Amino acid sequence: MRGIIYDGTAASLVDDLEVRAPGPREVIVAVKAAGLCHSDISYMHGLYPVPSPGVCGHEGAGVVAEVGSAVSHVAPGDHVVISTLFSCGFCKACADGHPTLCRKSIGNATQPFTRNGEQLWNFAATSAFAERTIVGDMQCVKIDPAIPLTSAAVVGCGVVTGMGAVFNRATVTRGQRAMVIGVGGVGLNCIQALKVQGASTIIAVDTVPEKEALARQFGATHFLDGRRPDIIDAVVEICPPDGLPNRGFFNAGGVDWAFDCVAHPAVTETALECLDWGGTVVVIGVAAQTAEFKGRYVRLTQIDRGIIGCRAGTYAPHRDIPHILDLYQRGEVLLDELVTATFPVERWEDAVHKLEAGEVARGVLTF
């Protein structure tokens, strides 16, 4: 079968991959569509601290091809979103509905693929860039077959990461003001989840001004060019310090929530400076393991500000994916519009170039 592998030096499309038979709680999915996200490119460039050679891809949707003996919630022929999150299902974190905190949810590298007798690793417990992949039963979320698989493909990671940060990690209430820094596949989903939650002001910030139209289509009420040196003042102009003549000693005015989808030290610091009293920065982006940020203590104390991290939208696949698809089918959030380009898997290099150039919101590979 075909698949995109990373051999430790470079990525390539091959046609002689094989995948082993499923264990009792595993499922073989015939992948029909797979999202390409920056994490995939990092892996293809050897920047991800996981083993190779391996089969790339971590966002997919497809049709169940084969199930293990103990799998009962899906059957061959079912359409599924593959969730990249693998969890045990039994620990305290899983029982509490926080599987992103399950100790088993990190480091699920196994070697289920072979090529010419050589064993290949999976990537992010998913390996969606293969015609058939193998995942844990809890990673398969059954969906309505009427939903286009190209749209469903991006839900299992990018969409749920952005929306989940708003729905699960933050506690956004009606009428609050928010900013989203980084209008990519994750940021657009923060924006549309904020709209669903009833945020009154949603400021999108990006260094690519051409993203304004897309940001507004997804619900942004304002757009600011992230290169502006006066970006903090611009945010406060939109969200003034009601009741005070100026920001004062404790930096009144600004947003209640700042979603940092970039995770660059300067961006996180700017986000902190843009908070109103009681505001919180939610860091979603993935930074280098050793990257650091700095900020002033006075921004946190006295006025109850905070900085929190969020992994993959703090999501629970079987709670959040059906919720998001329900919002989509009722027309409350956009998914089809998120996928601005599809590429047959043979054109995967085009998809990589277009994502790196910022020319696509989400590109999806099809099999």
Interface with Zn ion (CB under 5 A): 37, 39, 87-88, 91, 94, 102, 157
Kindly state the smallest distance separating residue 89's Cβ from Zn ion, in Å.
Answer: 6
Kindly state the smallest distance separating residue 197's Cβ from Zn ion, in Å.
Answer: 22
Token pair 């939650």 is found at 197
Pairing of strands 201-206, 177-181: parallel
The whole-angstrom separation of Cα 220 and Cα 333 is 13
- The dihedral over CA atoms of 307, 85, 138, 141, expressed in degrees to the nearest 10, equals 90
User: How far is Cα of residue 320 from the mean position of the Cα atoms in its chain?
Assistant: 13
Kindly state the smallest distance separating residue 165's Cβ from Zn ion, in Å.
Answer: 13
Comparison of 31 and 94: residue with beta carbon closer to Zn ion: 94
Comparison of 166 and 231: residue with beta carbon closer to Zn ion: 166
Pairing of strands 275-283, 255-260: parallel
Comparison of 92 and 296: residue with beta carbon closer to Zn ion: 92
Kindly state the smallest distance separating residue 156's Cβ from Zn ion, in Å.
Answer: 8
Kindly state the smallest distance separating residue 58's Cβ from Zn ion, in Å.
Answer: 6
Comparison of 102 and 202: residue with beta carbon closer to Zn ion: 102
> In this structure, are residues 13 and 124 in contact, taking their beta carbons and an 8 Å threshold?
no
For Zn ion, the nearest residue by Cβ is: 102
The whole-angstrom separation of Cα 307 and Cα 279 is 9
The whole-angstrom separation of Cα 233 and Cα 283 is 21
Comparison of 299 and 362: residue with beta carbon closer to Zn ion: 362
Kindly state the smallest distance separating residue 306's Cβ from Zn ion, in Å.
Answer: 25
Comparison of 22 and 35: residue with beta carbon closer to Zn ion: 35
Kindly state the smallest distance separating residue 59's Cβ from Zn ion, in Å.
Answer: 6
Residues in Cβ contact with 224 at an 8 Å cutoff, skipping those fewer than 6 apart: 203, 204, 205, 231, 234, 235
Kindly state the smallest distance separating residue 91's Cβ from Zn ion, in Å.
Answer: 3
Residue by residue, what is the 3-state secondary structure of 19-55?
Answer: ECCCCCCEEEEEEEEEEECHHHHHHHCCCCCCCCCEE
Comparison of 272 and 310: residue with beta carbon closer to Zn ion: 310
The whole-angstrom separation of Cα 47 and Cα 362 is 21
The whole-angstrom separation of Cα 154 and Cα 43 is 18
Comparison of 102 and 232: residue with beta carbon closer to Zn ion: 102
Kindly state the smallest distance separating residue 350's Cβ from Zn ion, in Å.
Answer: 19
Comparison of 33 and 65: residue with beta carbon closer to Zn ion: 33
Kindly state the smallest distance separating residue 139's Cβ from Zn ion, in Å.
Answer: 13
Q: What is the DSSP string of 210-277?
A: GGHHHHHHTT-SEEEETT-TTHHHHHHHHS--TTSSS-TTTT--SEEEEEESS--HHHHHHHHHTEEE
Comparison of 39 and 314: residue with beta carbon closer to Zn ion: 39
The whole-angstrom separation of Cα 279 and Cα 274 is 9
> In this structure, are residues 250 and 277 in contact, taking their beta carbons and an 8 Å threshold?
yes
